[in-house]
């Protein structure tokens, strides 16, 4: 049997690609019809005649190169595969047995339950170009499941730009290209074409869809573009170096209500600076207003949010730390170790009690294969797992993103691997890998998203590397988080309200006293240590410092219930430490 893949463009490889099924690393790939490569010249003429460009696309430098007819027969069986996972594939894995030679760029769809690879999209060079040095990192789907987005870099014969970053907009029903876009604009006085890095999307409460194309690599990212899939994928807003300065690594994430885009701020100088002085810009997608929150490490990358919108977590890839932002005060309120070297992505579990960092090895060896774990409420280590970090095994190398599976009964994370050739499925019940899904051609994977389809091809992106996207899944997470806190007497909210960030020593002592005597947990501190801290069941802790309290929270087994279940955050620990020091005077 022959397996046929759809081509993206006309050009060097101007015929359909046919591969023997024995070369697909045991992946079960559904057949798709053989098609001829589309007419590139005609598509360029169609683009030139269109009115797709607008002021924002021009300002940011996103250009329509070619417009195709993407209509055609269904490329895969949506009724048989109603839940699929999209992830990229290119030639950049460490696999010596890749089944396609040279550069290639594409993506594939995996059944969310059977793990069958059900559809594959592989692109070829644009006419006149001479190779693909960088395959796709970003790949995702419009929130309604209609359009796919995949980007790559090609070497050109244009001496001025040297390389060009392309994005294909693909009809997810026919798996045929609809548009070819490229990014090119002036940057620091010269023409630059940046490669696309990540793609994400979201939907507002009133149903407006947004797709985010995030360009650039390393610490000098941008520009980014907000597309409207319902308006022929035109640019709604460009976010350039003039808007956010300096613009850092291109890992933007929208707030759960899709009204704010969080953009990392940084540069190569800041990344290697002695002090952690980078930040995050909150871009209001309605007004364009920007709020800058500084103090998120050396090199902010992964960003995710709690579904109530109150907290945001930012990963520092070079400092190997995680920073927690309070979105009401727009300030960093806590930080902790990521538990892995060079973290990249970050994801929360179903009830938002745990956060997982993806140990890529950013800024160091860059071949990491681990996940770190900590308590999301308190930012304290998770001590239930006796061996950490979590090793993913298989071909895992340079793991970068973890995506929460939308079925809570499965309770899984799906992890991409930038230099490996498998999607790794982690069982969150056992904290161990349960499956390795090979890529169709032995290539690498980078990021992903789960999409649920109805029989009429109505789609809903459930989750991606930024967290839950679907309003349905967001509500499920909110319900589980609320139930968890209610089961614990909602003491998480009580202790959070008790601890107010303050520089007033007297106020800090008052907060610490209240926490110690009343609201630190079901069994408060005073129950074990006495009302004056002189000792009872527990030892005399008068004179203890903030550092002593933090160390005890991590190491004293008797405090395990308190540590695992309540929001005893860093701000609370500071207050309790101040009160204990006062008791020791």
* Separation between Cα atoms, residue 198 and residue 218, nearest integer Å: 12
Among 35-44, 386-395, 472-481, which stretch is predicted with the lowest mean pLDDT? 35-44
Task: For residues 198-204, give the mean pLDDT.
Answer: 96
> For residue 5, is pLDDT > 50?
no
* Separation between Cα atoms, residue 227 and residue 533, nearest integer Å: 58
What was the pLDDT predicted at 3?
Answer: 34
Residue 107 makes CB contacts below 8 A (sequence gap 6+) with 86, 87, 88, 89, 120, 121, 136, 139, 148, 150
Task: For residues 466-470, give the mean pLDDT.
Answer: 97
Task: For residues 372-397, give the mean pLDDT.
Answer: 92
What was the pLDDT predicted at 565?
Answer: 53
Q: What is the DSSP string of 125-158?
A: PPTT----SB----EEE-TTSSEEEEEEEEE-S-
Residue 244 makes CB contacts below 8 A (sequence gap 6+) with 222, 263, 265, 281, 283, 290
Among 19-28, 141-150, 235-244, which stretch is predicted with the lowest mean pLDDT? 19-28
pLDDT band, very low/low/confident/very high, at 511 (cuts 50, 70, 90)? confident
Rounded to 5, what percent of the chain is helix, strand, coil? 20, 35, 45
Among 189-198, 353-362, 477-486, 551-560, which stretch is predicted with the lowest mean pLDDT? 551-560
Spatial contact of 119 and 76, defined as CB atoms under 8 Å apart: yes
Give the tens place of pLDDT for each residue, 386-426: 899 999 999 999 999 999 999 999 999 999 999 999 999 99
Between 234 and 498, residue with greater pLDDT: 234
Between 188 and 184, residue with greater pLDDT: 184
Which long-range contacts (C-beta less than 8 Å, at least 24 apart) are formed by 405-409? 405/112, 405/450, 405/463, 406/83, 406/112, 406/450, 406/452, 406/462, 406/463, 406/468, 406/470, 406/473, 407/83, 407/112, 407/113, 408/350, 408/476, 408/480
Spatial contact of 459 and 453, defined as CB atoms under 8 Å apart: yes
What was the pLDDT predicted at 528?
Answer: 82
* CATH classification for the domain delimited by 2-483, as one of 1.10.10.60, 2.130.10.10, 3.30.565.60, 2.60.120.560: 2.130.10.10
pLDDT band, very low/low/confident/very high, at 153 (cuts 50, 70, 90)? confident
What was the pLDDT predicted at 10?
Answer: 39
Task: For residues 192-218, give the mean pLDDT.
Answer: 92
What was the pLDDT predicted at 551?
Answer: 78
DSSP assigned state of 297: B
> For residue 490, is pLDDT > 70?
no
> Which spans in 36-138 are helix H?
40-48, 55-60
What was the pLDDT predicted at 208?
Answer: 97
pLDDT above 70 as % of the chain: 84
> For residue 28, is pLDDT > 50?
no
What was the pLDDT predicted at 158?
Answer: 59
pLDDT band, very low/low/confident/very high, at 6 (cuts 50, 70, 90)? very low
Kindly report the backbone phi and psi dihedral angles of residue 503, in degrees, each rounded to the nearest multiple of 5, phi listed first. -105, 0
> For residue 47, is pLDDT > 80?
yes
> For residue 235, is pLDDT > 80?
yes
Task: For residues 30-41, give the mean pLDDT.
Answer: 53
Give the tens place of pLDDT for each residue, 308-340: 999 999 999 999 999 999 999 999 988 999 999
* Separation between Cα atoms, residue 460 and residue 457, nearest integer Å: 10
Give the tens place of pLDDT for each residue, 542-582: 999 888 887 787 677 667 556 555 556 677 788 888 899 99
What was the pLDDT predicted at 102?
Answer: 64
What was the pLDDT predicted at 2?
Answer: 29
Between 90 and 416, residue with greater pLDDT: 416
Task: For residues 426-450, give the mean pLDDT.
Answer: 95
Q: Residue 66: which of 48, 82, 54, 78 has the closest Cα?
A: 48
Among 3-12, 325-334, 455-464, which stretch is predicted with the lowest mean pLDDT? 3-12
Q: Which CATH architecture has domain 489-583?
A: Orthogonal Bundle (1.10)
> For residue 7, is pLDDT > 60?
no
CA-to-CA separations, 367 to 20, 357, 359, 392, in angstroms, rounded: 31, 15, 9, 12
Task: For residues 50-64, give the mean pLDDT.
Answer: 97
What is the chain's mean pLDDT, rounded?
85
Task: For residues 10-30, give the mean pLDDT.
Answer: 31
Please, which residues bridge with residue 210 across strands? Answer: 202
Q: Is 489-583 in the same CATH topology as 2-483?
A: no
What was the pLDDT predicted at 22?
Answer: 23
pLDDT band, very low/low/confident/very high, at 491 (cuts 50, 70, 90)? very low
Domain boundaries, the chain: 2-483, 489-583
Give the tens place of pLDDT for each residue, 255-283: 999 999 999 998 777 777 777 889 999 99
pLDDT band, very low/low/confident/very high, at 382 (cuts 50, 70, 90)? confident
What was the pLDDT predicted at 498?
Answer: 45
pLDDT band, very low/low/confident/very high, at 463 (cuts 50, 70, 90)? very high
Among 7-16, 100-109, 135-144, 353-362, which stretch is predicted with the lowest mean pLDDT? 7-16
Between 461 and 443, residue with greater pLDDT: 461
């Amino acid at each position: 049997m022959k397996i046929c893949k759809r081509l993206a463009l006309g050009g060097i490889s101007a015929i359909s690609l046919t591969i023997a099924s024995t070369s697909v690393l045991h992946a079960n790939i559904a057949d798709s019809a053989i098609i001829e490569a589309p007419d590139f010249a005609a598509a360029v003429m169609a683009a030139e005649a269109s009115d797709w460009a607008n002021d924002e696309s021009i300002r940011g430098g996103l250009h329509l190169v070619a417009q195709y007819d993407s209509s055609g027969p269904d490329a895969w069986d949506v009724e048989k595969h109603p839940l699929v996972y999209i992830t990229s594939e290119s030639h950049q894995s460490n696999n010596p047995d890749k089944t396609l030679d040279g550069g290639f760029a594409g993506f594939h769809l995996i059944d969310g339950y059977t793990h069958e690879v059900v559809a594959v999209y592989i692109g070829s060079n644009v006419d006149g170009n001479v190779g693909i040095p960088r395959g796709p990192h970003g790949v995702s789907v419009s929130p309604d499941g209609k359009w796919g987005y995949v980007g790559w870099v090609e070497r050109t014969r244009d001496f001025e730009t040297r390389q060009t970053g392309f994005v294909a907009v693909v009809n997810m029903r026919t798996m045929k290209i609809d548009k070819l876009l490229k990014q090119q604009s002036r940057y620091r006085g010269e023409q630059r074409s940046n490669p696309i890095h990540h793609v994400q999307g979201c939907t507002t409460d009133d149903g407006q869809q947004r797709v985010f194309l995030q360009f650039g690599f390393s610490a000098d990212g941008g520009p980014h573009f907000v597309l409207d899939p319902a308006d022929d994928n035109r640019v709604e807003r460009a976010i350039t170096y003039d808007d956010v300065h300096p613009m850092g690594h291109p890992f933007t994430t929208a707030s759960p209500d899709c009204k704010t885009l969080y953009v990392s701020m940084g540069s190569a100088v800041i990344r290697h600076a002695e002090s952690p002085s980078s930040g995050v810009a909150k871009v209001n997608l309605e007004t364009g207003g920007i709020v800058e929150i500084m103090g998120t490490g050396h090199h902010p990358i992964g960003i995710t949010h709690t579904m109530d919108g109150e907290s945001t977590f930012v990963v520092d890839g070079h400092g190997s730390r995680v920073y927690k932002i309070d979105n009401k005060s727009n300030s960093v309120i806590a930080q902790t170790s990521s538990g892995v070297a060079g973290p990249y992505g970050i994801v929360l579990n179903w009830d938002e009690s745990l956060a997982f960092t993806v140990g890529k090895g950013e800024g160091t060896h860059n071949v990491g294969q681990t996940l770190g774990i900590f308590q999301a409420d308190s930012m304290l280590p998770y001590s239930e797992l006796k061996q950490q970090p979590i090793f993913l095994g298989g071909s895992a190398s340079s793991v970068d993103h973890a995506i929460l599976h939308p079925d809570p009964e499965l309770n899984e994370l799906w992890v991409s691997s930038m230099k490996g050739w498998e999607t790794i499925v982690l069982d969150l019940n056992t904290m161990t890998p349960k499956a390795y899904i090979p890529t169709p051609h032995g290539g690498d994977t980078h990021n992903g998203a789960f999409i649920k389809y109805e029989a009429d091809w109505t789609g809903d992106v459930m989750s991606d590397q930024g967290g839950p996207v679907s309003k349905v899944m967001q509500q499920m997470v909110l319900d589980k988080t609320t139930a968890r806190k209610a089961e614990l007497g909602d003491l998480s909210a009580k202790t959070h309200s008790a601890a107010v960030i303050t520089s007033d020593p007297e106020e800090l002592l008052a907060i610490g006293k209240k926490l110690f005597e009343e609201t630190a947990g079901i069994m408060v501190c005073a129950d074990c240590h006495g009302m004056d801290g002189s000792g009872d069941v527990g030892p005399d802790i008068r004179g203890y410092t903030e550092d002593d309290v933090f160390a005890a929270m991590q190491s004293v087994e008797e405090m395990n219930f308190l540590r695992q279940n309540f929001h005893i955050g860093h701000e609370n620990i500071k207050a309790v430490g101040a009160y204990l020091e006062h008791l020791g005077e």
